[in-house]
Amino acid sequence: MSQLLIGGRWVDGVSAERLTDKYSGAVFGEMAIASPEQVELAVTGALAAVQSSQLKPYDRYRILSKAARIVESRIEALVALMRDEVGFTRADGENEVRRCVQTLELSAEEAKRLNGELVPMQAADGVQNRIGFTIHMPRGVICAITPFNSPLNTLAHKVGPALAGGNAVVIKPSNHSPLSAVALCEALLEAGLPPDLLALVHGPGQTIGRQLLADQRIAFYAFTGSTQVGREIQQAAGLRGVQLELGSIASTIVCHDADIALAIPKIINAGFRKAGQVCTSVQRLFIDRRIVGDFMPRFVEAVRATKAGDPADPSVVIGPMITRGHAERAASWVREAVAGGARILTGGTLEGQVFAPTVLDGVDESMRVVCEEIFAPVVCLMAFDDIDDAVARANASPFGLAAGLFTTNLQTAFRVSRALRFGGVHVNEASSARIDVMPFGGVKDSGYGREGPAYAIREMTEERLITIAY
C-alpha cells in the first residue's frame, strides 16, 4: 500500500483506493488518500524544514548522486511496478528508470555549480569603487504535480532540481501512479535526504490539488499535465512562480529528400511508445507528396509489425492505455474520423485497454484526431506539396511543444527550424526526441518554463543582487 510522507514520517491516509493492473485488471495494491489536515501538515513540515535546513550544495550533490545509484539498483522492481501501475512494456519501463537515474545525476551536478554572475557596475557613467554580483537562493517550498505517463522521470525532473537548489518539495503525483512516487521518495530518503524536506500526498486533484494551490506558503508550482489544469494553476498561483508543461499536438515533417530508412523507425518509436501517451508523440505526420507512394506502404508495414498486447511479454512494444475510458475515447475519435471520410491503413481495434497502433490517411484537419490531442497510439498521415505549407499547417495548432523534421538539406533544416513555432525542433529526429540534459518546454498553449536540471534549477531559485561600495 502506498503511504503518505508527512513531517518526515510515513503515515496512513484517511482512506484507501484499490490499484489495478492495466492489462489484467487484477488488484495489486492500494493508494492512501490524504485528508485536508494531512495536506496542511505536509506543507507546514516542508516549510519549517527548508527554513532550518543546513544542507550545503555538496551535501545535495552527494544525496542526489546516491539516490541515482539506489534507483539504478532497483531497475527490475521498478519495471515490474510500472508495468502494473501504468501498463509499461519492458522497454518503456527500462527507459523510464534509466532516464530517471540520469536526471538525478544531472541535478546532483547542478547543485555544485549553481552560480550567479558578476555585474559590470562600471559600465554606468560615474560609478566608482562599487562591485555587484548575483547569487541564487532557495524559493522555499516547491509543489510538484506530476502525470502518470512518466511516473519516475518527470517527477525527478521536478524534485531533483528543486532539492539541488536548496528547496523543500511537496509532491502530488497522478492517482494512477502513486507507488512510483513512493519508490522515488524512498530512494531519496535512503540516500540521506533529511525527511522533512520531502512530503508526498495522494488524492483527488479537485480537492487536494486545489488545497495546495490555495496555500500561500508554497512558493513555486512545477506541473506537467493538461492545458486546462495548467490555466487553473497559473491563475491560482498569481505572482508566485510556475513551470507549466502542458498539452500538445506534435507534428513531424518528412521532406522529399529525407532518409526514409532512418525516419520510419524513429517515427514509430515516437508515435507509439507508452501506447502513444506522451505529450510529444507524433500525431500529425506531414509527408511530401513526391514520396508518399514510397513512404506510406513502408511505414504501414512497419507499424503492422509493431506488436501490441500484454506488457509482460518481452516482444510487446505497445501495452494497454491507462484506463478503459481513455482507450474507448481514442477509438471513438477514430470511428468519427472514418465516418467523415478518413481511412484506417492499419489498426483501429480495441481489446480491453490495448488500442492497436493505428495509422489514418484521408483526414480533414477539422477532425478531432488531427486538431485535438488524442494521447493514444494514433498517427495521421497528411501530404503536402510545399514545405512552407507544411510549416503553416503545423504552426496552426494552438500548441507548440515539439516538432520533428526529416531532411538531408542543411538549408531546409535551418530555415524550417526557425519557422516552426515550437519549444523544440528536432532535425532528423521525430517530435518525441529528448535527452534529459536539454531544455524542454513549450510555447503557446503548451505552457512555459523549462525542464532540464540546469534550466529548472534557475527557475526554482531566486536570483538576488548584492552590491558593495568600498
Which of 202, 211, 144, 151 is closest to 171 using CA atoms? 144
Cell of 1: 500500500
Residue 23's contacts (CB-CB under 8 Å, 6 or more residues apart) are: 87, 310, 311, 312, 319, 320, 352, 353, 354
Which of 103, 21, 22 is closest to 275 using CA atoms? 22
The residue behind cell 526557425 is 418
Which of 282, 250, 284 is closest to 446 using CA atoms? 250
Q: Please say whether the beta carbons of 214 and 366 come within 8 A.
A: no
Which of 103, 75, 221, 216 is closest to 164 using CA atoms? 103
Q: How far apart are CA 109 and CA 60, in angstroms?
A: 9
Cell of 281: 508523440
Q: How far apart are CA 250 and CA 378, in angstroms?
A: 12
Burial group, residue 121, by CB count within 10 angstroms (0-12, 13-18, 19+): middle
Residue 251, beta-bridge partner list: 284, 403
Sign of CA dihedral 273, 311, 79, 145: positive
Which of 232, 205, 81 is closest to 146 using CA atoms? 205
Residue from 96, 105, 110, 245 carrying the catalytic annotation: 245
245 is catalytic: yes
3-state secondary structure of 44: helix
Residue 196's contacts (CB-CB under 8 Å, 6 or more residues apart) are: 7, 8, 45, 46, 48, 49, 168
Q: How long is the chain?
A: 470
Q: How far apart are CA 309 and CA 312, in angstroms?
A: 9
Residue from 143, 255, 279, 380 carrying the catalytic annotation: 279
Backbone angles phi, psi at 396, to 5 degrees: -70, -15
279 is catalytic: yes
Cell of 449: 518554463
Q: Which residues are catalytic?
A: 245, 279
